[in-house]
Each structure stands twice: as structure tokens, then as C-alpha cells.
Amino acid sequence: MNSARTNLIGLSREQLIEVLKGLGEKPFRATQLWHWMYHRGVTDFTAMTDLGKPLREKLIAGFYVGRLEIKQALVSTDGSRKWLLRLDDGNEIETVLIPDDGRGALCISSQVGCTLNCDFCNTGTQRLVRNLTPAEIVGQLMMARDALGEWPAGVDGRLLTNIVMMGMGEPLMNFDNVRDALRIIKDGEGLAISRRRITLSTSGVVPMIARAGQEIDVDLAISLHSGDNAVRDVLVPINKKYPLEELLRACAAYPGARNSRRITMEYVMLKDVNDSDDDARHLAHLMRKYKIPAKFNLIPFNPWPGTKYECSSNNRVHRFSQILNDAGFSAPIRHPRGRDIMAACGQLKSDSENQKLKALKEKRESEGETATA
Ligand code: SAH
Ligand code: SF4
């Protein structure tokens, strides 16, 4: 329906100014348009009253303010929410909102699937992979604001206050689009979410970490998961390309890394794999050795059908946290959220794919039966 027209969501300010110049308009119109689109959440050009009728008509003829299609929306008993979104090419992605004590983090996807195949991660098992466009990345936030009724932006008491690039995909493997989307999200005249409220999580695409510091400038989280190269090679295979020494040096050099802006080390707790007392002590040693202002985030492993891993016991996770605390590192345990709606990396999407596969299998079986009968 919209294919002949251009979506204005996701265009950089410079691109939008070019579009407007092409329509014979001055650059300041871009600011007005952004205000309607990103501050007020308006999608209908006719409501953009200060643009003037001739411009509104030109916009209606050639452009639209797009939204992602919600295929499924789930609310957990603990208040977290999950949306399964259908993209124009039929691919599906997911976006999760995790409310927590007066703030709420929207967990945004950066790719359909992921090429990096971490052994314990369900997203890595999905076959289809493509980069999301800036419109699709920004679109997840627009969708959530619509669904929560949180327009205009910037009012107190909002559910959605923070952004974490921790959904499906590896953000630093889609660097340009993630950067361009986050520029719109951070811009005071765009979605106006301060960089202090945005965290980008990477499994360790080392050459892109320095660029992220310079060009994206948000808080950094690293999916560390082991302080031992042999173990990390298996859990996070990109470690074979960029081993721990290089990763930790890149963290130490991350521009924002100082005590007030620590780097979060994510650590998924896997029974008998990476959860011993020695593992915890070694992590503390590494952070000191590389002088990284780090805090840990211990993530109880969220099992999925077919995985060979198990979550460490409660006692083990607490002991691990205690050792890191005693060594001077904050190491909270992330509470599993939204288990009833499977609000973890990759889970709902896979479930939807599995259901499709199951339906196909059943269809084939019943057709096979008819054929032989
Ligand atoms: N690709 C990026 C961001 C997405 S994953 C990255 O790897 O950092 C967000 C976090 O969830 C990562 O730390 C990832 O390792 C972790 N994760 C993935 N699958 C998980 C599972 N089944 N249980 C617990 N944490 C998981
Ligand atoms: Fe990709 Fe991150 Fe999952 Fe690894 S943990 S497969 S990098 S999404």
C-alpha cells in the first residue's frame, strides 16, 4: 500500500532536510516534522497544523509516517510486555519492555536472527538473518510508545524510560543502521532519550567497540560469560576471532569508561560450565589487570527446547555474586522476568517459528496419509 511512498521514520535529520529541499522547503521544516513524529507520535500529516497546507499535501502525496505491524502482544503477570512484530518482507522480530522500580527498559532488536551462533542463545539457532533498517529499529520504540499511550514524550511517570540494545541480533554487526537509529533516538528534537539511559550490548565485535564509543556514545555492556578463552571460544564463538585480551583492552579504552559510567559485564550462569568460585575470582582479577571500571550483571540462564545447558543453582549464583562483591564489584542477579510470556532473547520468535514448522509437519503428514490411503 505504501510502497510508492517514502517512510519518513528512520531518515536522518540530514536526509529529511534533503527530502524537504526537494519539495522546495526550508531546513527548519525538518525540526517541525520531527516534533510531530517523534515528540507527539503523530502519523497523520493533516494533523501537523503548522506545516502549511501546500506542504502537507505534498507530504501526503509522496510520503508516510510508518508503523511496524504488531502480530502478537503479550503482557506478563509481572508487568513485562512482549511484542512480536511482522516486517514488510514477512520476517518477524521481537521487542520486550521490562519495567523495574519506576523505570522501564525497552529491549530492542538489531537484526532478524544473528550470525554469531552463541552456544547457549536461542537467537543464534534461527536460520534467517538480515540487518534491520534504521526505520525498523526506531520503529520498535515508536510501536511501544503507541502501545503504552506514552505520547507526547518526556512526561514524568512513563513506563518506557530506558533503551537496551539487547534484543535479537548483534548490534555491532549492523553498525551503521544501529548508529543512525540511535542518533534519532538520542537527538533532543528526535525521541530525546538521553545517552545515559541507553545501553548497547555486544558479544565482542572488538574493532567496532572503539567506533561505537566515538560515533554512538552510549553505555556499553559486554556479553562476557567467561574469563577463560577455551570456555568462551565455545560459548561465544566470536571469541576465536577476538580473544579476551583484545576484548578487555578495547573495554579499558572505551571513551565513556570511568567510574561514573561503568561497563556492564553480562554473565549468564551456566551450571558446571562457568560458575565456579575460581571463575568468579578470576573475573575480578581480569577487571583489575585490565583496569576496567566494571560492574557485573549475573543472568540466570533461560533454558529453551533443545539446549544442552542448565541454569546454575540459586545458591551457586548467590555465592558467585558474593565473591565478586567481596572483590569490590557490584554483581546483581537479574531476576528472570516474563517467564510466562517467554520474554527472553529469541524465545517468542522461535516459538512462533516452531508452531509454523509443527503445522507444516502435521499438514505434510496428513497429506501423506491421504496419498497412501
Ligand atoms: N547480541 C548481543 C545482544 C543481544 S543478547 C549480545 O550478545 O550481547 C542479550 C544478552 O542475553 C546477552 O548477554 C546474551 O548473551 C544473553 N542471552 C542470550 N540467550 C540467553 C539465555 N537463553 N538465557 C540467558 N541469557 C541469554
Ligand atoms: Fe547473537 Fe548475542 Fe545471541 Fe550471541 S548472544 S547469538 S551475539 S544475539
Please report, for the domain that includes residue 25, its CATH number: 1.10.150.530
**Better pLDDT: 370 or 73:** 73
Phi, psi of 298 (to 5 degrees): -90, 120
Q: Are the C-beta atoms of residues 77 and 61 closer than 8 Å to each other? A: no
Distances (CA, A) of 28 to 58, 196, 212, 309: 17, 28, 29, 55
Which ligand has an atom closest to residue 116 CA? 2
The CATH number that applies at residue 194 is 3.20.20.70
Domain ranges, residue 343: 72-357
Active site residue 94: yes
pLDDT at residue 353, as a whole number: 57
DSSP secondary structure letter of residue 101 = T
Whether residue 362 lies inside any domain: the answer is no
Question: How many Å apart are CA 193 and CA 38, to the nearest integer?
Answer: 11
- The stretch 337-360 carries a mean pLDDT of 59
How far does the centroid of ligand 1 lie from the alpha carbon of residue 234, in Å?
A: 15
Q: What is the mean pLDDT of the chain?
A: 90
pLDDT at residue 156, as a whole number: 77
Whether residue 109 lies inside any domain: the answer is yes
Task: Looking at the structure, tell me whether residues 94 and 39 fall in a common domain.
Answer: no
Confidence check: pLDDT of 3 > 90: no
Ligand 1, atom nearest to 167 Cα: 4
Whether residue 373 lies inside any domain: the answer is no
Task: Looking at the structure, tell me whether residues 146 and 261 fall in a common domain.
Answer: yes
Task: Looking at the structure, tell me whether residues 154 and 25 fall in a common domain.
Answer: no
How far does the centroid of ligand 1 lie from the alpha carbon of residue 124, in Å?
A: 10
For residue 122, name the pLDDT band (cuts at 50, 70, 90).
confident
Confidence check: pLDDT of 344 > 70: no
Task: Looking at the structure, tell me whether residues 172 and 32 fall in a common domain.
Answer: no
Q: pLDDT tens across 143-162, in order?
A: 999 999 999 877 777 899 99
Whether residue 52 lies inside any domain: the answer is yes
Task: Looking at the structure, tell me whether residues 51 and 116 fall in a common domain.
Answer: no
Q: Is the CB–ligand 2 distance for residue 302 below 6 Å?
A: no
Phi, psi of 209 (to 5 degrees): -70, -45
pLDDT at residue 352, as a whole number: 59
Ligand 1, atom nearest to 116 Cα: 1
C-alpha cell at 259: 567510574
Residue appearing with cell numbers 577487571: 287
Confidence check: pLDDT of 372 > 50: no
Q: pLDDT tens across 34-88, in order?
A: 999 999 999 999 999 999 999 999 999 999 999 999 999 999 888 899 999 999 9
pLDDT at residue 6, as a whole number: 96
Q: Nearest-CA neighbor of 169 among 211, 207, 140, 210?
A: 140
Task: Looking at the structure, tell me whether residues 208 and 294 fall in a common domain.
Answer: yes
Q: pLDDT tens across 281-328, in order?
A: 999 999 999 999 999 999 999 888 889 999 999 999 999 999 999 999
Question: How many Å apart are CA 132 and CA 224, to the nearest integer?
Answer: 24
Active site residue 345: yes
Whether residue 1 lies inside any domain: the answer is no
Least confidently predicted of 8-22, 89-103, 255-269: 255-269
**Better pLDDT: 359 or 233:** 233
Domains: count for the chain: 2
For residue 25, name the pLDDT band (cuts at 50, 70, 90).
very high
DSSP code per residue over 310-346: -BPPHHHHHHHHHHHHHTT---PBPPP--GGGT-STT
Residue appearing with cell numbers 510466562: 340
Question: How many Å apart are CA 59 and CA 295, to the nearest integer?
Answer: 48
pLDDT at residue 290, as a whole number: 97
Least confidently predicted of 6-15, 81-90, 214-223, 352-361: 352-361
Write down the catalytic residue from 94, 150, 170, 266.
94
Whether residue 135 lies inside any domain: the answer is yes
b/e code 121-137 from CB counts within 10 Å (16+ = b)? bbbbbbeebebbbbbbb
Task: Looking at the structure, tell me whether residues 258 and 112 fall in a common domain.
Answer: yes
- Grouping H, G, I as helix, E, B as strand and the rest as coil, residue 75 is strand
For residue 30, name the pLDDT band (cuts at 50, 70, 90).
very high
In this prediction the pTM is 0.91
Task: Looking at the structure, tell me whether residues 178 and 214 fall in a common domain.
Answer: yes
Confidence check: pLDDT of 93 > 60: yes
Phi, psi of 147 (to 5 degrees): -65, -35
Confidence check: pLDDT of 371 > 50: no
Which residue's alpha carbon is nearest to atom 11 within ligand 1? 345
For residue 346, name the pLDDT band (cuts at 50, 70, 90).
very low
Q: pLDDT tens across 241-278, in order?
A: 999 999 999 999 998 666 678 999 999 999 999 999 99
Task: Looking at the structure, tell me whether residues 136 and 283 fall in a common domain.
Answer: yes
Task: Looking at the structure, tell me whether residues 82 and 103 fall in a common domain.
Answer: yes
Task: Looking at the structure, tell me whether residues 46 and 121 fall in a common domain.
Answer: no
Ligand 2, atom nearest to 201 Cα: 2
Residue type, 101: D
Whether residue 29 lies inside any domain: the answer is yes
Residue type, 144: A
Whether residue 167 lies inside any domain: the answer is yes
Question: How many Å apart are CA 125 and CA 195, to the nearest integer?
Answer: 31
Confidence check: pLDDT of 356 > 70: no
Task: Looking at the structure, tell me whether residues 110 and 86 fall in a common domain.
Answer: yes
**Better pLDDT: 235 or 304:** 235
What percent of the chain is predicted at pLDDT more than 70? Answer: 89
- Grouping H, G, I as helix, E, B as strand and the rest as coil, residue 81 is strand
